[in-house]
């Protein structure tokens, strides 16, 4: 049987491995890699909608960008249904937990704007109903292309299938706010190929989503990161010596970990505009370790490539575990080899007393980490929870060589611009 990495041939690069040995070093509640407790009395952005994955407007180099002094974020968004009989329980109360848990099926892309980098005002939907070809508009990245305000929104069109797509529009500002115009023609870019990246036919639980385009600071070419799983029929993957790594005696048993096959995918553009893409072998695989490496993104710092990706406790394989949060890897060149930050990969995890307090962290080049509030316990036992669906307090981390440290906490949803573009 072919090993997981043999699938990718000799060129152009071999994926780096997040091994089971690396993951054994993951420890929740280390204060340097744990998100401060989120208080249950958090404010909500909106009583009409839930928001989760947050996508700040940025340029292709990764800089968070405001336009004419307005900060802009895109969010995955779903209506709240406090009065919908479907979500009223037998006691006549709104079952917000069920409403929240169902949100993925009706996710839509919305945008928000602000003068202060927080206190976001709702702009509205980015695409009109019927423009996006599938039921779900899943995560991606809005890119400000130029001083004319043109924006390429890369995102994932899901159900049926999962296709990485893009749609072009324009951001327009006035003294009073921001609007998005255009965003009328969605262009499919690519889907999983079944050779490098797992397809739905190979595994109904496959992941293929979350495009993050960028310009490589070294070769200047346009690339894109995305979330995938390593190709192959579900259950056919091998968790061999390479995937296990250097474990102590007694840790060789991999259980059923062959079902966890996450990877961070990469594609390169064949054209300047990013309309024509070629998928390359993954940058990083987590076979036998974890089934999801979501929303991968980079911070380019000190001449190094810092690769971040979010993951869950429930997606870890047998015999390894870690908190929900953001994990990171560092390399000296784009194609690796990548080594886990802090030895384990864990950069910012939820505290074990509030395991679901936040998710979908995005590390920005200024060291600020934004995320959303999922649910926070409201009693000692943790049986009562308050659902979030809103922005979490921003956390500051310091990235130093192969280590990271939590160093600051800021206001809810604080996403300050790194540069301002005056539109022409």
User: Which amino acids are annotated catalytic?
Assistant: 53, 294
Find tokens 């710092």 and name the residue.
301
Q: Which of residues 225-254 bind ligand FRU (CB under 6 A)?
A: 227
| Binding residues for ligand FRU, total number by CB under 6 A | 15
DSSP lists the bridge partners of residue 358 as 373
With the CA atoms of 363, 29, 26 and 396 taken in that order, what torsion angle do they form, in degrees rounded to the nearest 10? 20
Q: Which of residues 125-144 bind ligand FRU (CB under 6 A)?
A: 138-139
Min. distance of Cβ 105 from ligand FRU in angstroms?
9
- Say if CB 5 and CB 287 are below 8 A apart: no
Q: Rounded distance, CA 3 to CA 8, Å?
A: 10
Site string for ligand FRU, 275-294 (x = CB under 6 A): -------------------x
- For the chain, the distance separating the N- and C-terminal CA atoms, rounded to the nearest angstrom, is 58
Min. distance of Cβ 325 from ligand FRU in angstroms?
12
Min. distance of Cβ 207 from ligand FRU in angstroms?
7
Name the residue nearer to ligand FRU (CB basis): 58 or 295: 295
Q: Which of residues 67-86 bind ligand FRU (CB under 6 A)?
A: 76
32 closest CA partner among 408, 331, 416, 414: 408
Min. distance of Cβ 67 from ligand FRU in angstroms?
25
Name the residue nearer to ligand FRU (CB basis): 314 or 332: 314
Min. distance of Cβ 422 from ligand FRU in angstroms?
32
Among 16, 54, 360, 390, binds ligand FRU (CB under 6 A): 360
Write the CA distances from 337 to 27, 59, 63, 186, 330, integer angstroms: 24, 26, 25, 35, 8
Among 18, 52, 190, 412, binds ligand FRU (CB under 6 A): 52
Q: Does 156 bind ligand FRU (CB under 6 A)?
A: yes
Written as six digits, the tokens of 159 are 């159900």
Q: Does 53 bind ligand FRU (CB under 6 A)?
A: yes
Q: How many C-alpha atoms does 257 have within 13 Å on its Cβ side?
A: 24
The helix/strand/coil state of 38 is: coil
Q: Tell me, what DSSP letter sits at residue 198?
A: -
Q: Does 55 bind ligand FRU (CB under 6 A)?
A: no
Q: Does 209 bind ligand FRU (CB under 6 A)?
A: yes
Site string for ligand FRU, 103-122 (x = CB under 6 A): -x--x---------------
Site string for ligand FRU, 365-394 (x = CB under 6 A): ------------------------------
Distance of CA 417 to the CA centre of its chain: 19
Q: Rounded distance, CA 408 to CA 89, Å?
A: 41
Q: Rounded distance, CA 282 to CA 195, Å?
A: 11
Pairing state between β 71-79 and 261-269: unpaired
DSSP-assigned states of every residue in 201-224: TT-TT---EEEEEEE-TTT--EEE
Name the residue nearer to ligand FRU (CB basis): 159 or 256: 159
Q: Which of residues 298-357 bind ligand FRU (CB under 6 A)?
A: none
The angle subtended at Cα 209 by Cα 232 and Cα 17, nearest 5°, is: 55
Name the residue nearer to ligand FRU (CB basis): 205 or 302: 205
Q: Does 198 bind ligand FRU (CB under 6 A)?
A: no
Give residues in contact with ligand FRU (CB under 6 A). 52-53, 76, 104, 107, 138-139, 156, 209-210, 227, 294-295, 359-360
């Amino acid at each position: 049987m072919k090993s997981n990495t043999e699938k990718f041939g000799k060129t152009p690069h071999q994926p780096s491995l997040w091994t089971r040995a690396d993951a054994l070093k993951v420890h929740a509640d280390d204060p340097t890699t744990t998100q401060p407790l989120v208080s249950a009395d958090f404010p909500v952005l909106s009583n009409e909608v839930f928001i989760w994955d947050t996508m700040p407007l940025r340029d292709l180099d990764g800089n968070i960008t405001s336009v004419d002094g307005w900060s802009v974020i895109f969010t995955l968004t779903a209506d709240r249904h406090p009065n919908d009989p479907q979500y009223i329980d037998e006691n006549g109360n709104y079952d917000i937990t069920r409403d929240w848990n169902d949100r993925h099926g009706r996710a839509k892309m919305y945008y928000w704007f602000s003068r202060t980098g927080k206190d976001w005002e709702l702009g509205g939907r980015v695409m009109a109903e019927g423009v996006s070809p599938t039921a779900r508009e899943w995560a991606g990245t809005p890119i400000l292309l130029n001083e004319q305000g043109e924006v390429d929104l890369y995102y994932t069109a899901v159900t049926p299938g999962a296709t990485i797509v893009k749609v072009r529009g324009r951001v327009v500002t006035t003294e009073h706010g921001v609007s998005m115009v255009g965003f009328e023609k969605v262009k499919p870019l690519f889907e999983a190929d079944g050779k490098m990246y797992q397809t739905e036919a190979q595994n109904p639980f496959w992941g293929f989503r979350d495009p993050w385009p960028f310009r490589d600071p070294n070769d200047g070419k346009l690339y894109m990161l995305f979330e995938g799983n390593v190709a192959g029929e579900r259950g056919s993957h091998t968790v061999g010596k390479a995937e296990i790594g250097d474990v102590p005696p007694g840790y060789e048993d991999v259980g059923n970990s062959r079902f966890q096959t996450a990877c961070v995918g990469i594609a390169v553009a064949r054209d300047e505009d990013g309309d024509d893409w070629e998928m390359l072998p993954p940058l990083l695989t987590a076979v036998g370790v974890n089934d999801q490496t979501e929303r991968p993104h980079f911070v380019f710092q000190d001449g190094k490539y810092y690769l971040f990706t979010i993951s869950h406790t429930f997606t870890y394989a047998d015999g390894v575990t870690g908190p929900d949060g953001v994990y990171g890897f560092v390399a000296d060149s784009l194609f690796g080899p990548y080594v886990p930050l802090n030895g384990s990969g864990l950069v910012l995890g939820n505290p074990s007393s509030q395991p679901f307090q936040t998710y979908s962290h995005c590390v920005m080049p200024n060291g600020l980490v934004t995320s959303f509030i999922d649910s926070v316990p409201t009693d000692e036992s943790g049986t009562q929870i308050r659902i979030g669906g809103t922005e979490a307090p921003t956390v500051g981390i310091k990235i130093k060589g192969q280590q990271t440290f939590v160093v600051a906490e800021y206001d809810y949803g604080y996403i300050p611009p790194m540069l301002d573009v005056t539109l022409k």
